[in-house]
Amino acid sequence: MGSQVSIIRPSYLPEIELFRPSSIDGVFECIKDGARVLAGGTDLLPWASQHGQPRKMVWIGNVEPLHGFSVDDERLQIGACVTQGELIRCADFRRAAPAVADSVQFVGSVQLRNQATLLGNVCSASPAGDTLPALLVHEAQVEITGAPGQERQVSLDDFLLAPGKTMLAPGELASGVSFCGLRANEMSAYRRHTERRALDLAVASVAARLVFEADGYTVAGARVALGAVGPTALVAIEAAKSLVGHPLTGETKSICAAIAAETCKPISDFRASADYRRQLVKVLVEDVIGEIEQRARIFKPNGEGR
């Protein structure tokens, strides 16, 4: 037997040719030239240290328009350079998208969140990426710019293809992400299981967003999404559907959890086995719905619904 793999490359950053344009046009020139987009760098730079590539990067932090974010009644629009730290400090964001706010708070550590961007977490497309299930239940759309002026919106569900793979084509830039804010009678939440309380990857995670009828009990609409139990974050359509038209009870929650656990596609690896991940999904779905119920109550005047 012989082998071609000769060495373990020492984990140090390679020489990097770094471009720092201040306009979108400049960014596109670099992308066309083969440069990888560098925003917060919390995923890309450790990757580059370990793998010795990419060696050409374009930092988009100098492009002013990519730093914008807006929260209006209907939708939140987050530019590519907006850090998770910035978002979490914004009260309007926390109110408008509680599940996304929950999920951002789990990412890495304070220092990492102050460096890492929300869109970076999306583009890394990790099956365990914390913000992905939360963004899915908030109906996120990724804004893809093919060239200056050529923009299209792709739903996050379509955008995520496989671990580390998105539908972003060579020469394209993910320039922002937008998602729905909560409307009246809606609430969302995100929960995950980790072995450690901080600085950890989700072994399984669940986000949900529920719309209640005017009575405050009956579920009028539901979205459930799962993380770390499939090649990408998954929308659990059947599980969500099972809730609609019923009031939340122990039974409806457990039916929803059972469907989610059944329909997810976990793998076994050194972090956890597939059947344990299914069990976690079952527990987390009920927990998340319970959390939503509680939050919905708190937001109601006079504690109605108690």
Partner 1 sequence: MNSRPPLSTASFRERALAGARYAADIIPPDTVLAEIVRSPHTHARVKRIDSRATLAVPGVLAVLTAEDFEGIRLGHLCADEPILSSVARYFGDGIAAVAAKDRQSLMRGIEALRIDYELLPHAITIDDALASPVAIHDFCADNIAEKFQAVRGDWQAINSRVALWVENTFETAAIPHAYLEPRACLVRVDGKRLELVCGSHAPSMMADFYRPIVAGWGSQLEVVTPAIGGSFGAKWEHPSQLVCLLFAQRLQRDVAMVLSRRDDMIAGRTRAAMRIRMRIGATAEGELVAKETTLWCDNGAYSLHGPAVMKAAAIRGDNLYRFSAIKADAQLVYTNNMPSECFRGFGITQSTFALEQLIDELARRLKLDPAKLRLSNTVREGDTAVHGWKIGSCGIADCLDGISNRIDRHRRDNALPRSERYRTGYGLAAFIHCIGNRGYDKRFDRAFVTLRTLPEGGIRISSGEVELGCGTVEVLIKTVARELATNRDQLEVVLGDTATGPHGMGSYASRTSFFVAMAALDACRRFKRAAEQMRVEFGMTKPAEIGELVARARQQQRLGDLEVTGDYQPSGVVVPDETGYGNISAAYTFGAHGCCVQVDTYTGKVTVTQYWAAHDAGTIVNLNETQGQVIGGVIQGLGFALTECASVAESGQLLNPGYLDDRVPTFPDAPPVEVLFTDTYEKKGPAGAKTIGEPPIIPVPACIANAIRDAVGVRVYQLPMTSERLWRAINDDDARSGPKGN
Q: Which residues bind partner 1 (CB under 8 A)?
A: 1-3, 5-12, 14-15, 49-50, 52, 193, 195-201, 203, 270-273, 276, 279-280, 283
Q: Minimum distance from CB of 144 to partner 1 (Å)? A: 29
Q: Minimum distance from CB of 156 to partner 1 (Å)? A: 24
Strands 150-155 and 36-38: unpaired
- At 258, the amino acid letter reads A
CA 187 to CA 289: how far, in whole Å? 10
Shorter beta-carbon distance to partner 1: residue 11 or 153: 11
Shorter beta-carbon distance to partner 1: residue 220 or 283: 283
CA 164 to CA 124: how far, in whole Å? 5
Handedness of CA 234, 194, 43, 81 (dihedral sign): positive
CA 151 to CA 17: how far, in whole Å? 28
Q: Minimum distance from CB of 197 to partner 1 (Å)? A: 4
Q: Minimum distance from CB of 105 to partner 1 (Å)? A: 12
* DSSP bridge partners of 162: 165
Q: Minimum distance from CB of 233 to partner 1 (Å)? A: 19
Handedness of CA 128, 130, 136, 142 (dihedral sign): negative
Shorter beta-carbon distance to partner 1: residue 15 or 73: 15
CA 70 to CA 40: how far, in whole Å? 20
Shorter beta-carbon distance to partner 1: residue 201 or 264: 201
Q: Minimum distance from CB of 79 to partner 1 (Å)? A: 28
Question: Helix or strand or coil: residue 230?
Answer: coil
**Which residue is listed with tokens 């596609």?**
265
Q: Which two tokens stand for residue 211?
A: 């719309």
**Which residue is listed with tokens 């122990």?**
250
Shorter beta-carbon distance to partner 1: residue 114 or 218: 114
DSSP state of 237: H
Shorter beta-carbon distance to partner 1: residue 154 or 283: 283
